Structure 1
């Protein structure tokens, strides 16, 4: 009784279990939060690009929209540094940031509904989606940091699998909902529907404390936990210097370059597939949104077991190099066969094969990124490792329109093959996945 009063919780008052002490609550909250990250991604990568393509937007315009909308995902190092340095400690190290980012996502969607830009307002749509994705990146980094803090080692493999699958499922659900409502009711209704989805799920997450005795809300009773006080940094330089020292190693820099190259087809799918499907193959934007949703769900299913199976059979190094090689081969086949496509099946089959290969390659690269992180600064360092491929994906998406309009879709497929081939060579030189060649200081 004395302990409850000291922690700021009124005696005799029932409370839900804290995330740090209850496995079911941990998994439920993290799965819901990753599902919500799929809302801005599904809207920005699938539903809106298809809607714009159906309205007559050029490949250059669609590529520029996707590239700018995705840009916040390359700022995750900044987010991680800020969160490692600052926190509202009575609510835990990460939970205050999570609730703030969720509230800002709701606000961004409400603003989108009020302004209700049309398909011709591409610059305004880009700005609104940029803001929405910026909120989502703060959520992403905060949830990752919370998982590092409170998820036991024995649960991390499982929780990472559920994170990836939940985000993919969120992308799929958002793609279907937005794809249908954009055509039938317009962007205002679409934004309000997504606002309700985010708000409802956020309320569920808000009822769980990070650790026992902390505040549920900023104005409620509670105090900072011992773990929060011990782990929260009070200065910038130890965090920043540690990240810089660990990253500026030649083998690590080569690995980051290779992971950026591994996103070549994902950038193609983001920015080129919408116009290829809608304007060349005659699909409706709703059909493309449904296809994108199915593709994400399928990739999530494969991602849950294929990387694990490949690593067990071939080892991580051969698995990564083999997936790079498979992506090169598939892209070359697509480039050569594109002029002779009859119907939709070649596009569907090749898109599915390359998307799934790219996703499993990214997951395998993440395994290596986690392995080479310095545990003392893992949150900020891992945020940087994830920011580099996101920046690469954004840049390639933003510039894909120039290539398509200047040289055609076949040349874009060849570009994917060339970039993936470069990634293969660099990953081989950096000995990515070789556990006998870990960077200095990593155990």
Structure 2
């Protein structure tokens, strides 16, 4: 076993609880930037230039697609790494570099709102970078953080990503309107770039390298917990996934984000073209509602779900959400009334927040100890399929002249989940959640909001 060079600075994660918390906060903050840009600010910019729902849906779906493939990221990050830099930092630095490079390249290319292929390509590249960074940071949390720090880290994950999305949406809307695409992307790339420099400056454990050409060696702990076997991991994960309750959970996870994938494609059109809002008004309103939902969820969500119960909260939010979706579809003659659209967006955010907060612990309860981390990652990857499905639904229904069916389709999906939750009893607890981190670390930790 290689001996360790002494640490060459104080920025070592294993030695500093504050540095560990700051690392989680900063990287989750930057996760929100590409999400805010490609899900909200750029669609609003395209809509203001006259783009249709189908065109916007193409870009949104391309940015969302890498999130459906996040399972692959987890396997790759766990299986392959450059141990002299730590188990996760090489992936984190690489993913963050790809994100910065994507934003700066997009600023140089400066595509027009009608350059769908170019915008979709940049959205996809940003999504790939963000998903790899997300899985790597979650893995780092479990590798480095002791158990007593993880709850606080989970709060930082949830709140920081929401703040990042809100900042990118609001700033992007203003910069697109007054400075243009190139200037907006160049300014917004500054924050991920600063966090990349921070990621290069830190180390996971004492004696490791900051960069491949630096001095240092792999830490014994990293060597001892590095996962090398493929077959048992895949076999046991598939066995757990095909259990009856697990098969029932999968569509529940998928359905959660179907309406909101459609909203991300259609609501910029609804607000800028039907209601006549300016681009910065729509992005400012949406970022405000997004930030408010994050703060409410952070401060009160967990306590409310604990008091009501996970399955009851899911039943309540899916039932109310389905009713609001059906009502919004029926209210099509009144969509030009600001209060109708604004009220629906606010209420749908609250329902989605409850669905998300209650859905995560339900998924963790079904994880078996031997493969809990991989199983949880699979659940989160499957859940991401709902967003591109919703974006595609928006493109089909709106382009065919039946936009009300976007809401009715989402309402039917949520109603089906409510019926399932009414008749099926999921387990009330699972003691395996913490044990999972000792087996395959990439899966524990709060999933991202668009996960």
Measured against the shorter chain, the TM-score band is: over 0.9
* Superposed CA offset, 1:394-413 (max 9, x none): 12212311112324332222
- 1:47 is aligned to 41
Q: Which runs of 5 or more structure 1 residues have no equivalent in the other structure?
A: none
1:311 CA displacement: 2.4
Tell me how far apart the structure 2 counterparts of residues 197 and 206 of structure 1 sit (CA, whole Å).
15
1:419 CA displacement: 1.0
Q: Does 1:220 align with 2:214?
A: yes
Contact 1:113 1:191 survives alignment (8 Å) = yes
Ranges of 4+ aligned residues in structure 1 off by more than 4 Å: 436-439
1:377 CA displacement: 3.3
- 1:308 is aligned to 302
* Superposed CA offset, 1:103-133 (max 9, x none): 1111111221221110110121011110111
TM-score after normalising by structure 2: 0.91
Task: Pick the aligned partner of 2:4 from 3, 7, 11.
Answer: 7
Q: Which runs of 5 or more structure 2 residues have no equivalent in the other structure?
A: 438-451
* Superposed CA offset, 1:114-158 (max 9, x none): 211101101210111101111110000101111122222222222
Tell me how far apart the structure 2 counterparts of residues 303 and 351 of structure 1 sit (CA, whole Å).
16
Task: Pick the aligned partner of 1:74 from 68, 71, 81.
Answer: 68
- 2:317 is aligned to 323
Q: 1:149/1:346 Cα in 2 relative to 1: closer, same or farther (>3 Å)? A: same
Contact 1:321 1:427 survives alignment (8 Å) = yes
Secondary structure of the corresponding residue to residue 28 of structure 1: helix
Contact 1:47 1:178 survives alignment (8 Å) = yes
- 1:65 is aligned to 59
* Superposed CA offset, 1:388-440 (max 9, x none): 1111211221231111232433222212211111122234455345338999x
Tell me how far apart the structure 2 counterparts of residues 293 and 56 of structure 1 sit (CA, whole Å).
22
Q: 1:217/1:170 Cα in 2 relative to 1: closer, same or farther (>3 Å)? A: same
1:25 CA displacement: 0.6
* Superposed CA offset, 1:44-79 (max 9, x none): 110011111111111111122211221001111000
Task: Pick the aligned partner of 2:394 from 400, 412, 433.
Answer: 400
1:17 CA displacement: 4.1
* Superposed CA offset, 1:341-379 (max 9, x none): 563122112101102211231121112223333344344
Contact 1:255 1:432 survives alignment (8 Å) = no
- 2:440 is aligned to none
The worse-fitting range, judged by mean Cα deviation, of 370-379 and 392-401 is 370-379
Task: Pick the aligned partner of 1:291 from 285, 288, 304.
Answer: 285
Task: Pick the aligned partner of 1:107 from 101, 107, 125.
Answer: 101
- 1:129 is aligned to 123
The worse-fitting range, judged by mean Cα deviation, of 405-414 and 208-217 is 405-414
User: Number of matched residues?
Assistant: 435
TM-score after normalising by structure 1: 0.92
1:18 CA displacement: 2.1
Q: 1:429/1:208 Cα in 2 relative to 1: closer, same or farther (>3 Å)? A: farther
Q: 1:173/1:442 Cα in 2 relative to 1: closer, same or farther (>3 Å)? A: closer
- 2:351 is aligned to 357
Contact 1:320 1:433 survives alignment (8 Å) = no
1:442 CA displacement: 8.9
Contact 1:81 1:239 survives alignment (8 Å) = no
- 2:133 is aligned to 139
Tell me how far apart the structure 2 counterparts of residues 183 and 125 of structure 1 sit (CA, whole Å).
17
Root-mean-square deviation (CA, aligned residues, Å) is: 2.3
- 1:162 is aligned to 156
1:241 CA displacement: 1.9
Contact 2:364 2:430 survives alignment (8 Å) = no
Secondary structure of the corresponding residue to residue 272 of structure 1: helix
Task: Pick the aligned partner of 1:29 from 23, 27, 31.
Answer: 23
Contact 2:324 2:344 survives alignment (8 Å) = yes
Tell me how far apart the structure 1 counterparts of residues 58 and 114 of structure 2 sit (CA, whole Å).
14
The worse-fitting range, judged by mean Cα deviation, of 74-83 and 197-206 is 197-206
Tell me how far apart the structure 1 counterparts of residues 351 and 200 of structure 2 sit (CA, whole Å).
36
Secondary structure of the corresponding residue to residue 180 of structure 1: helix
Q: 1:437/1:140 Cα in 2 relative to 1: closer, same or farther (>3 Å)? A: closer
Tell me how far apart the structure 2 counterparts of residues 37 and 88 of structure 1 sit (CA, whole Å).
23
- 2:201 is aligned to 207
- 2:113 is aligned to 119
Q: 1:8/1:434 Cα in 2 relative to 1: closer, same or farther (>3 Å)? A: same
